[in-house]
Chains A and B, each alone.
Chain A
Amino acid sequence: MKMLLMGNEAIARGAVEAGIHVATSYPGTPASEVFATLARYAPELGFYAEWSVNEKVAVELAAGAAYAGGRAIVSMKQMGLNVASDAVMSLAYIGVKGGLVLVVADDPGPHSSQTEQDTRLFARFAGLPVLDPSSPAEAYTMTKYAFDLSEELGLPVILRPTTRCCHACQDVEVGSLLPPRPVPGFTRSPDWVILPSLSARKHRWLVEQEERARLLFNESPFNTATLEGRTGVITGGVSYGYVVETMDQLGVRLSLLKIGTPYPLPQEKVVEFLAHLDQVLIVEEQEPVIEEQVIRLAWRQLIPCHISGKHDNFLPRTGEFNVDIVRSALARFLGMKSTPASVPAPPELPQRAPTLCAGCPHRGSFYAFKRAARGRDVIFAGDIGCYTLGAAPPLKALDTCLCMGASLGLAQGLARTEPQRRVVAFIGDSTFFHAGLPALANIAYHRAPVTIAVLDNGTTAMTGHQPHPGLALDLAAVARAWGITCVLEADPYNLEATVRAASRALAEPGPSLVLLRRSCPQLTASDRCCTVDPSLCTGCGLCLEELGCPAMSWEKDHVTIGPNCNGCGLCAQICPAGALREVRK
């Protein structure tokens, strides 16, 4: 049966056909749909599936399942692996009994990430085999295989798709679903208890497994070569499709080696390929992972083939590839002319950057804190989520953003260094549970003079509205229990009350916390909207210039409101002319 599947759905499909027992994840673009799809299969097939509090817990939970001989899959974005890395590095030494697949989606570009880090490098660092799918169909096949490979080697296996595999759809031939089989169960053994003596032994074992994986990969159908003369290309991942199309565009046929297992490199396959060639161009997105291994191999085996790629600037280490980039590199490598088609230049086009939605409660929260901080030098530390968009004009409400949960840590460092300035840490509810809890303990224990503003919209909005522990657990109660006495709540749709709460929190000498509660408008149908009375609107533009709401725009000399307004009423609360009103739709 053929199905249209997005790469992430194809990965999920491969996993359920492999008979998984446990699936865990923390949301992150471009990986989120892997788990979202698995969660839909879980009730029917009877495996356990959860959005975990963060990637580290997700990996540990899945590892526990694999200790008991179950098959488990964990999915995350590339930076999620940083959070989970403590567990992953040690787990490589301990190994697994049931198959454990770590799906780690990379985001070259980046489109929705803080870094362009390459998970293939991480795999090499951890000593874990990594599979690099070129398409959704291959991601499906690789996922199924990854469980067998994991059990054969006794190691977690990393599947590393990139955005153009995750968020690409393809017609995929699928097989039948497999309910989880009975597990052999956890057996007590000193081999589960990591101690230096065990680590010394297991490190040697891990190095041996690399060689075993390499031998398996030499025979792998994911590494394929076609010979067409003494000039060739080695490629992997989504770049494979770009290379095939580029050769058609340039009208050339070259020898081509596609690597689906970039680490450990299938050396025999590469040596055999290079032996037929005088020159080869290596085309891979992100870091030169294949390239450096190939150069080392060619040098060691004294293969007289000229190797080009990133080291001699044919291709960049940064950004996302496409056919146009690959075409210009390959044309240059072949000494051909490749002039891009000329197109007429359009007139000036408006910038269209992502924006907080109309009716987003974060807009009210930021606006209220800015108002409460007026006349004082307050630093606003931000965090990861939709609310990062609060940094954009006109709100310009964030002075920092680093990584998940960092607002709380950075705020403490800033406050300790410049005690005369108050610092507010803005953090979303999902991010708070992901990485903010230990930082809150630090603030409470050390009595750090900072204000925490929790933007609680009852969901993980940016990644597609996933649930999180804050839906059931009371973080304000935790803050109180840990001795933070100034804990306030406010509805960001009520500007006056929110400004009042913010002012009180900012005036506190010690730590304070404001819980800003209002659900994401994308999850709730509103029966309200705002209207403008053009006869009252003076055209002062205050609402537009201070709030930057995408539902509002100019119509000649007055403001107009579009159909995307959800009636949050913030504009009506700041209009000095009383021209804006919140009404029932």
Chain B
Amino acid sequence: MNIIIAGVGGQGIILASRALAEAALEAGLAVRTAETIGMAQREGAVVSHVRIGLPDYGPLIPRATADILLAFEPGEAARHLACLRKGGSAVVATSPVMPVSVSLGASAYDVDAVLRFLEGAVEHPYFLDAAALAREAGSIKALNMVMLGALSRLDLPVGEQNLLEAALKLLPPQTETVNRRAFALGRQALEGLEK
């Protein structure tokens, strides 16, 4: 299984891919990830690749072969859509992160147009206002947990509980309550929608 996790530096993408990978390891599956570490972490576009059960391949997911695109930001979902295979699913956080280039008028960002495009281009799109759910859980920093909770609704080779526990192990213990709540809210947001 191939999962692309896309978003903006600082949103907690690396933690999300590590949690998935740790849960896969726990389930006894071969796992490979590739992460964006370096300059792009300063508010740039970042992406993690997670490959489960493909031990001989490199860590980068080729074009049009991802089963799931988990996007923490709508523009970043569109940027990485070429990775998604035909019939794949995309879980997309709808609230945008406005880059400085937009505030300066150097580039345009029509969020509604991007969301409409995703709706039309993805066979199984799932949208949720992950930022609002994270705030509801207690912290905007828990956005990645909301997204993992939503992801846990899809057909994954790792169980919901394993994924949650793997993520919690990587996070500071004092944030556990907020993170559990965020995961549950994300999972709830996709209730009944999953195919």
Contacts and interface: CB of A to CB of B under 8 A. Distances in A.
A354 B99 contact: no
A171 interface: yes
B121 A563 contact: no
Contact of B99 (A170, A244, A351, A464): A351
A112 B39 CA distance: 6
A357 B36 CA distance: 17
Interface stretch (A180-188, A341-349, A506-514, A531-539): A341-349
Interface string B32-73: 111111111111110000000000111110111000000000
A323 interface: yes
B125 to A, nearest CB: 13
Contacts of B9: 354
A438 interface: no
Contacts of B113: 347
B18 A351 contact: no
A554 interface: yes
A355 interface: yes
Contacts, number: 184
B154 interface: no
A393 B104 CA distance: 9
A354 B42 contact: yes
A435 B125 CA distance: 51
A168 B43 contact: no
A553 B21 contact: no
B101 interface: yes
Interface string A286-329: 00000000000000000000000000000000000011100100
Given A347-B117, A548-B104, A4 B37 contact: no
Nearest to B116: A347
A352 B18 contact: no
A239 to B, nearest CB: 8
A462 interface: yes
A350 B109 contact: yes
B63 A341 contact: yes
B184 interface: no
B18 A4 contact: yes
A38 to B, nearest CB: 17
Interface string A229-248: 00000000011111011000
Contacts of B140: 563
Nearest to B140: A563
Interface stretch (B78-86, B156-164, B173-181, B187-195): B78-86
Given A2-B25, A168-B33, A564-B10, A355 B58 contact: no
Interface SS majority for chain A: loop
Contacts of B75: 349-350, 352
B36 to A, nearest CB: 8
A568 B25 CA distance: 42
B58 A170 contact: no
Contact of A4 (B10, B21, B42): B21
Given A323-B62, A350-B109, A357-B43, A170 B32 contact: yes
A352 B99 contact: yes
Contacts of B104: 393-394, 544-545, 548
Contacts of B35: 6, 167-169
B171 interface: no
A242 B107 CA distance: 35
Contacts of A18: none
Q: Is the interface of B mostly helix, strand, loop or mixed?
A: mixed
Nearest to A165: B59
B8 A350 contact: no
A354 B114 contact: no
A545 B40 CA distance: 22
Contacts of A168: 32-35, 59
A343 B34 contact: no
A112 B38 contact: yes
A394 B10 CA distance: 21
A548 B122 CA distance: 34
Interface string A6-32: 100000000000000000000001100
A350 B114 CA distance: 11
B59 to A, nearest CB: 4
B81 A353 contact: no
Contacts of B1: none
Contacts of A352: 8, 43-45, 75-76, 99, 101
A99 B37 CA distance: 30
A170 B31 contact: yes
Nearest to B83: A343
Interface string A548-566: 1110111000000001100
Interface string A352-369: 111111000000000000
A220 interface: no
A169 B42 CA distance: 22
Contacts of A393: 104, 106
Given A348-B110, A352-B101, A355-B44, A171 B30 contact: yes
A527 to B, nearest CB: 16
A571 B62 CA distance: 43
A417 B62 CA distance: 51
Contact of A351 (B38, B84, B107): B107
A349 B109 contact: yes
Interface string B129-146: 000000000001000000
A353 B103 CA distance: 13
Interface string A400-440: 00000000000000000000000000000000000000000
Given A343-B81, A349-B75, A350-B101, A111 B64 contact: no
Contacts of B41: 354
Interface string A154-165: 000000000010
A580 interface: no
A545 B117 CA distance: 30
Contact of A164 (B17, B60, B85): B60
Given A245-B56, A349-B109, A393-B104, 8 more contacts: A112-B40, A347-B117, A348-B108, A352-B8, A352-B44, A353-B99, A544-B104, A553-B103
23 contacts: A2-B25, A30-B38, A169-B33, A170-B31, A170-B32, A239-B58, A323-B60, A341-B63, A343-B82, A347-B113, A348-B110, A350-B99, A350-B108, A351-B101, A352-B43, A352-B75, A357-B10, A357-B43, A393-B106, A548-B103, A549-B100, A553-B98, A553-B103
Interface of B: 8-10, 17-18, 21-22, 24-25, 29-45, 56-60, 62-64, 75-76, 78-79, 81-82, 84-86, 98-104, 106-110, 113-114, 117, 120-121, 140
Of all A-B residue pairs in the complex, the 9 with the closest CB atoms, nearest first, are A241-B58, A112-B38, A341-B64, A323-B62, A346-B78, A354-B44, A168-B59, A350-B109, A29-B38
